[in-house]
Amino acid sequence: MTSTTPLTKFLQSYTTIATISPLTNNILASLLTVLYVKLVLETGAFILYKLQKPELSRKFIHVCAASWIVFWPLFDTTHWSWRLNVLVPVAMFFKLLYKGAILRDPNDAETMSMSRSSNPTELLYGPLHFTMLMTWVGLYRFMSYQGIVIMSSMIGDGITRNRMRKSTRT
């Protein structure tokens, strides 16, 4: 029986690799998401430090994090290891918890790029909740229309401008 995992199909069309097991497929897919997030965080730091645009850096990271669902089709759902799709959100949850509650370094690059005011405790609000939502969606709405809609709304949230306006009473 030949494996028809998503990565196997891709690899067969571009290389001489024959087949890979569903477990290997899902491990490779989760490692690709890790590389993607590492690239996103490095790009966010570049935007922050080189371009001096903290708001753009924060929005860039937000939109790219919500786009993590583009890796879902690479996971093979016939094996329990499809749950590895939440590896990145869970790892980021603990990273944000550590940086926001324990480390509390306002000069940390990731703290500066993921918070509005470089206040480490801000990581414990929106960004931490975002990773919890990503984890829930990745486990309970994986490859579903609802999951795609939820994560797409997070992309939209990252694109919008957040400006507080004072309303005046007349």
pLDDT digits (tens, 9 = 90+) for 52-98: 888 888 888 888 988 989 999 999 999 999 999 999 999 999 999 99
Residue 106: count of CB within 10 angstroms of its CB: 14
Query: Token pair of 154, please?
Result: 């997070």
Confidence at 11, pLDDT banded by 50, 70, 90:
low
| Cα gap 131→137, rounded to integer Å | 10
Is residue 169 pLDDT above 60, yes or no? no
Confidence of residue 134 (pLDDT cuts 50, 70, 90): very high
- Count of beta carbons in the 10 Å neighbourhood of residue 94: 11
Q: How many other CB atoms are found less than 10 A from the CB of residue 23?
A: 14
Residue 1 confidence (pLDDT) above 50: no
> What confidence score (pLDDT) does residue 40 get?
92
pLDDT at 158: 64
What was the pLDDT predicted at 4? Answer: 67
Q: How far is CA 79 from CA 5, 68, 161, in A?
A: 10, 20, 41
Model confidence pLDDT, tens digit, residues 23-32: 999 999 999 9
**Structure tokens belonging to residue 63:** 């939109």
pLDDT at 39: 95
Please state, in angstroms and rounded to a whole number, the distance separating the CA atoms of residues 121 and 126: 10
User: Alpha helices of the chain — where are they, by DSSP H?
Assistant: 6-14, 22-49, 54-66, 87-97, 109-114, 126-140, 145-159
> Do 37 and 65 touch, CB atoms closer than 8 A?
yes
Distance between CA atoms of residues 19 and 111, nearest Å = 41
Location of structure tokens 């490779």? 28
- Say what the pLDDT of residue 18 is: 60
What pLDDT is stored for residue 12 in this prediction?
Answer: 66
pLDDT, average across residues 127-152: 94
Res 165 pLDDT > 70: no
